[in-house]
Structure 1
Amino acid sequence: MKPFTCLALAAVLLAAPVAAQAQMSASPNGTEAQRAALDRLDMLDGEWRGAATIHGPHGTMTLTQTERVGSMLGGSIKVIEGRGYAADGTTQFNAMATVSWDARAGRYGFRSYAQGHSGDYAFEVTTDGFRWETPAGPGARIEYVAVVRDGTWHEVGTWVAEGQPRRPMIEMRLTRIGDTDWPAGGTVDPTP
């Protein structure tokens, strides 16, 4: 082997254990900064139920909307699951999202999965709730603004496109109905 190749190989072999050790020495429950940032969303923890009104191209539909929110990784991630039910009890909408804090970027991360789509979207915690947005076609987006106070979660999604009037897409008004230990409510016994 040429000397340069030997040195490069040695550097790679020595770096791998150091990188693995750095990852292993990090807290399994995230960092203090991550937990502090996610504490600002503790008002969402629990089970919620209410009405969601959706304005679509074929008219308006109202669903019974449920949300359950909990923490994972020692409080460094929030997990949110939403379900919308028709009057006959069938599930018409189901979504799941995670919220985290990226200290290097100095911003929240929001990953959403719904109706066969997924993506990472801009997310901001406000004094009394949060806001986020998702693309909605060329030059358009849906802006979601949520206010959470006194056991009520009110969220409005508005379609916005430059040069066109803003249009309501969804309005959700939920009441907190109780605590939940979801998603961290149980653990698998690690012993065989």
Structure 2
Amino acid sequence: MRKLMLFGLTALFAALLAPSAQAQPTDTAAIAAQREAMKKLDWMHGVWRGPAVSQSPQGEHRVIQTERIGGFLGGTLTVMEGKSYNSDGSVGFNALGVVSYDAQAKSWWLTSWALGRGGKFPMQVTDTGYVWEIPAGAMTIRYTATVTNGSWTEVGDYIAPGQPPRRFFTMTLTRVGDSDWPGAGSVTKQ
């Protein structure tokens, strides 16, 4: 009898805790809106490669830029890894980005990490690509991407009040294949 009572109390306790373990119910409408919005970035999925050039006070720097991009969490996110290679084969740059869509605010976001920094930045998805910006004091760093005929061009400009944009980055990538990253290779139940 004592075991039955203990079992009953344990079951009751578990039943009482179950609703609090999941603080909020699944928002299926938001998930559906996120999936639909992310379809606008399906063109990005895959593996890309091509030349990139950056300008700095130290001069011009040329690399081979690569990107691997795929959907995640059932197509509600787009995950990107950008990596550039110097002429000697060493890695010159490596970044991770996650694009998300806020269904309630109807806004896009790019959360990225690179060069010891990270942040969440507003993003605008266009018919031909996207634009995202990083606030940098009195100026803004703006990246504009366009895709045409399997070619992805992205430029970076410094935007300062009262001055014309100053281009500091250009990359032109060609899609070189499919990728099952980052979804492939997840841990199975066994």
TM superposition score normalised by structure 2: 0.86
One-letter amino acid matched to 1:116: G
Matches within 5 A, 1:86-125: 86-125=86-125
**Cα distance in 1, alignment partners of residues 27 and 158 from structure 2:** 41
How far 1:23 sits from its partner (Å)? 3.3
Match of 2:8 in 1: none
How far 1:189 sits from its partner (Å)? 1.9
Match of 2:24 in 1: 23
**Cα distance in 2, alignment partners of residues 144 and 19 from structure 1:** 43
| Secondary structure of the corresponding residue to residue 89 of structure 2 | coil
Matches within 5 A, 1:156-167: 156-167=155-166
**Cα distance in 1, alignment partners of residues 102 and 20 from structure 2:** 20
| Secondary structure of the corresponding residue to residue 23 of structure 1 | coil
Matches within 5 A, 1:27-176: 31-136=31-136, 138-176=137-175
Gaps of 5+ in 2: 1-15
| Secondary structure of the corresponding residue to residue 74 of structure 2 | helix
Of 152-161 and 16-25, more deviation after overlay is shown by 16-25
How many equivalent residue pairs?
174
One-letter amino acid matched to 1:46: G
Task: Spell out structure 1 runs of 4+ moving beyond 6 A.
Answer: none
Match of 2:187 in 1: 188
1:6-42 CA-partner distances (Å, limit 9, x unpaired): xxxxxxxxx9865644635455xx7110000001000
Q: What root-mean-square deviation, in Å, do the aligned CA atoms of Structure 1 and Structure 2 show?
A: 1.9
**Cα distance in 2, alignment partners of residues 104 and 167 from structure 1:** 35
1:46-92 CA-partner distances (Å, limit 9, x unpaired): 00000110011111111000001100011000000001110000001
| Secondary structure of the corresponding residue to residue 40 of structure 1 | helix
Instruction: Work out the percentage of aligned pairs sharing the same amino acid.
Output: 43
Match of 1:4 in 2: none
**Cα distance in 1, alignment partners of residues 128 and 75 from structure 2:** 20
Gaps of 5+ in 1: 1-14
One-letter amino acid matched to 2:67: E
| Secondary structure of the corresponding residue to residue 189 of structure 1 | coil
How far 1:165 sits from its partner (Å)? 3.3
